[in-house]
Amino acid sequence: MTNSAPREVVLGVTGSIAAYKAAEIASQLVQRGIKVTPVLTTAACELVCPATFEAITGNKAITRLFEPLSNPEIEHIAVANRADLFLIAPATANILAKAAVGIADDWLSTTLLATRAPVLFAPAMNTLMYEHPATQENLRILKQRGCHFIGPESGRLACGTVGAGRMADPSHIVEFALTLLDPRNDLRNVRVLITSGPTREPIDPVRFISNRSSGKMGTALAREALFRKAHVTVISGPSEVAMPYGVEVLYVETAEEMAQACATRFSECDVFIAAAAVADYKPDHVLDTKHKRSDGPLRLSLVENPDILGTLAQRKAPHQIIVGFAAETDNLLAHAREKLTKKNLDFLLANQIGIPQSGFGTSTVRAYLLHASGETADLGLLPKETVAERIFDRVAELIKKRTATQGASSL
Ligand code: PMT
């Protein structure tokens, strides 16, 4: 999320057993610099303690409708006006029903009527309650009205049954909330396809050739595009880094698989960003059984993998923007400029490898942004999140410029 203005979330906690997970949500939001006003319904107070939320957020937990009259800070209309997001997690069947028909009989339901901020519900309830036509109808009404939903997921519920009704993962809820809180929307309706992470080229059933890419850069790009409201698809090699909620992820293993997945998605995308560290070579054949030391030396013959970026760039439609990466230990700018030209890219992010804090697996990178026009911007050593922001600033600028040119030529 952009760091500009501090943002405020009203965290409504209702009476589901998942209420204890709301403390984790509050904590994660606070850690990202967001002001959280906790609101607990009477039923929630039977399950969790308001003091927990006060300690985590540093703000008074609102529990009763009339108490706030003495405190203008938490008066319901004032909060309704100033909140940037209402997040109801967990949301019971009861609060969904009240919100759908406009019942205002406690602080939370009353303020929900008064706010014009976006509302995000994270439902949690017994499967039968969730599947009941009344609940389904309430969900339909609220969705139609523009409310956002995350979950519920299927799994084992506190009541012992297995089925739909479990609250979504707190980290996913926070990710979704952060997307809604980010005011930027300059990539709305833009379809972004990103390659991320390493590829693995098998030698035998237990060994492979790979590299040190962690997937951090690809994840930062995906998150940034999502915050700016793009539709994001990531084709990722094996990675431990979790992709943000809301991103469509296709996991692959080899360069061939990555090439195939990209080829099927490429024509649908407006922006293609190749951040993956694709293995340039693979063994010319894969052993069926594990090679043992007693079998003697293991000699590999390597053949080239397909050049995913180079191949797709040749199919580039006029509206598409293509961004490449280059990771080099020496002559970075010369090699990067050569790749930019040879692969017909709009621009390219060059990473310096072989210096501390930069490149594979790190959280920061020493980077340059090279444009097809010939210009080179020295970005310095930056967090990968900031590099992603700079890349999408440039993408958004290019889209705006092209749209303006198309508009002018159609006059
Ligand atoms: O995942 P992290 O740990 O965060 O690290 C991020 C990163 C350093 C891997 C990333 O920022 C990066 O620089 N990726 C490109 C790495 C690379 O080795 O590039 P290259 O010079 O081999 O390839 C140039 C471009 O062609 C890249 O956009 C690459 O994705 C693409 N390529 C390369 C080979 C190939 N067979 N197909 C490709 O599409």
Q: Ligand 1 test: best mutation among 254, 258, 260, 325, most atoms within 8 Å of CB?
A: 325
Q: Which helix (H) or strand (E) holds 50?
A: helix 50-57
pLDDT at 219: 98
pLDDT at 64: 82
pLDDT at 71: 66
* Cα 197 to ligand 1 centre (Å): 8
Residue 110: other Cβ atoms inside 10 A: 17
pLDDT at 406: 77
**Token pair of 51, please?**
């003091």
SS (H, E, C) 364-392: EEEEEEEECCCCEEEEEEEEHHHHHHHHH
Number of residues that make up the chain: 411
* Cα 309 to ligand 1 centre (Å): 9
Q: Which residue's structure tokens are 């009477």?
A: 42
Tell me if 222 sits within 8 A of 244, measured CB to CB.
yes
Three-state SS for 97? helix
Among protein residues, the one with the nearest Cα to ligand 1's atom 25 is: 325
Q: pTM of this prediction?
A: 0.90
Among protein residues, the one with the nearest Cα to ligand 1's atom 33 is: 278
Note if 159 is an active site residue: yes
Ligand 1 atom with the shortest distance to the CA of 212: 3
pLDDT at 402: 85
384-409 vs 216-227: helix axis angle to the nearest 10? 50
* Cα 327 to ligand 1 centre (Å): 6
Tell me if 244 sits within 8 A of 216, measured CB to CB.
no
Among protein residues, the one with the nearest Cα to ligand 1's atom 16 is: 277
Alpha carbon separation from 278 to 36, 170, 290, 330, 365 (Å, rounded): 42, 33, 24, 19, 19
pLDDT at 6: 72
Q: Ligand 1 test: best mutation among 196, 199, 211, 213, most atoms within 8 Å of CB?
A: 213
Instruction: Sketch out the chain's domains with CATH numbers.
Output: 8-181 (3.40.50.1950), 191-409 (3.40.50.10300)
Tell me if 120 sits within 8 A of 128, measured CB to CB.
no
Ligand 1 atom with the shortest distance to the CA of 280: 36
* Cα 326 to ligand 1 centre (Å): 6
Tell me if 241 sits within 8 A of 216, measured CB to CB.
yes
- Given 45, 49, 147, 159, the catalytic residue: 159
* Cα 201 to ligand 1 centre (Å): 15
Among protein residues, the one with the nearest Cα to ligand 1's atom 7 is: 360
Is the peptide bond prior to 90 cis by the omega test (within 30 degrees of 0)? yes
Q: Which residues does ligand 1 sit against, CB inside 6 Å?
A: 195, 197, 213-217, 255, 274-278, 280, 305, 307-309, 324-327, 339, 351, 359-361, 384
Among protein residues, the one with the nearest Cα to ligand 1's atom 21 is: 326
Q: Ligand 1 test: best mutation among 214, 309, 333, most atoms within 8 Å of CB?
A: 309
pLDDT by residue for the chain (411 residues), tens digit each? 655 667 999 999 999 999 999 999 999 999 999 999 999 999 999 999 999 999 999 999 999 866 655 666 667 788 888 999 999 999 999 999 999 999 999 999 999 999 999 999 999 999 999 999 999 999 999 999 999 999 999 988 887 888 899 999 999 999 999 999 999 999 999 999 999 999 999 999 999 999 999 999 999 999 999 999 999 999 999 999 999 999 999 999 999 999 999 999 999 999 999 999 999 999 999 999 999 999 999 999 999 999 999 999 999 999 999 999 999 999 999 999 999 999 999 999 999 999 999 999 999 999 999 999 999 999 999 999 999 999 999 999 999 998 888 777 665
Integer Cα distance of 238 and 217 in angstroms: 14
Query: In whole angstroms, what separates CA 348 from the centre of its chain?
Result: 22
Ligand 1 atom with the shortest distance to the CA of 384: 4
